[in-house]
Amino acid sequence: MKCGNHRLREPLSSILAALSLGVCLPINAQPSPTFRTSVSEVHVDVEVLDRNGAPVRGLSKEDFRVFDEGHEEATTGFEAGEQALDIVLLFDVSGSMRPNVEKVVKSADLALAQLREGDRVAVMNFTSHIKEISPFSRNLDEVGRSVQSILQQRFFGNTRIRRALFETAAYMINVPAQRRRRAIVIVTDNIAVGGPNQTTVVRNLWEADAVVCGIIVPEHRPRRSFGAPLPVSAGALFGDSVGPIAEKTGGASISLIDAESDFPRVVLRLRNRYSLYYAPPPAIAGSTRSVQVRLSPSAERTHASAQISARKGYVVP
């Protein structure tokens, strides 16, 4: 439910109950902004990496060009890394995940050490639906304990990644961002079944203004109920659930090799992103519009091999 430019928070249980019944939530009753500064700005979160995959620092507002539906827009605001973070740590607790989640959980202190005063973290897990372990908190000691408690959960059930991301986005829409960078860090084996289609999930993530970062653990091949492994062709039933969605939000997914370095690296990459703002052109409320970010000609000459990741669109408020 909206009141002016403010949102009234809905209990998580109400959100999930409505989603499971296919009921439209009050937060979706009217088109909602995809940014958290004011209704007069579109926020585009951008990551720039060099050829070695390291963040490119030191870029300025003049180093970027933003295109809305192919038309270049004047950048009205710019921030480089200094924004406070809102991160949801989302853990897959399906049956095969425990050994890999344990590795990630043990490296949580190193990952949380990358955060600063004012950053907020929520902790959730999921199988068929998300479960809130702890809400957004600035107390990183409490967050650390919440992450450790993941190992006390029961690991079982199917993995519905798209539904988990959809529900997490709905959760974040109800939490005021106050000009913060927002991200969902999902830890999963990326083997999923069912859920909303990709377009629906991405639209909700655009509305939440959330970047998706996937930590993909080594794959455990699913088995039939009688124990025989599924044939290789069955992989088509599952596909890459996280990667395409993350890419459309301006995020990415990495394969977990060393949890003690990979988990902190994902959080550090969130810190070293850029935020661009521009005034949205006139458009029909509730429609989606495409966004593209490029480096300026001079920045391209300096960083010829740079790779840019940014959201691919937004929902018109």
Statement: residue 7 has pLDDT above 50: no
Task: Say yes or no: 257 and 142 in one domain.
Answer: yes
Residue 232 lies in a domain: yes
Do 112 and 258 reside in the same domain of the chain? yes
pLDDT for 182-240, tens place per residue?
999 999 999 888 889 999 999 999 999 999 999 999 865 444 333 333 333 333 344 56
Tell me how many domains the chain contains.
2
Query: Would you state the structure tokens that stand for residue 304, as one six-digit string?
Result: 């010829």
219 sits in which H/E element: none
Task: Show the beta-strand stretches assigned E in 112-180.
Answer: 120-126, 130-137
Count of C-beta atoms within a 10 Å radius of residue 91: 27
Does 126 score more than 90 pLDDT? yes
Query: How open is the CA angle 310-316-317, to the nearest 5 degrees?
Result: 120
Does 129 lie in the same domain as 232?
A: yes
CB 294 within 8 A of CB 44: no
Q: Give the pLDDT score at 239.
A: 53
Are 58 and 142 in a shared domain? no
The upper half-sphere exposure of residue 175, i.e. CA atoms within 13 Å in the direction of its Cβ, equals 25
Helix, strand or coil, per DSSP, at residue 167: helix
Is 301 part of a structural domain of the chain?
A: yes
Is 17 or 306 the better-scoring residue by pLDDT?
306
Q: Is residue 115 scored above 90 in pLDDT? A: yes
Per-residue pLDDT tens digits for 33-79? 333 334 579 999 999 999 999 999 999 999 999 999 999 999 999 99
In terms of pLDDT, which residue wins out, 267 or 1? 267
Domain that holds residue 135: 85-221+228-271
pTM above 0.75, yes or no: yes
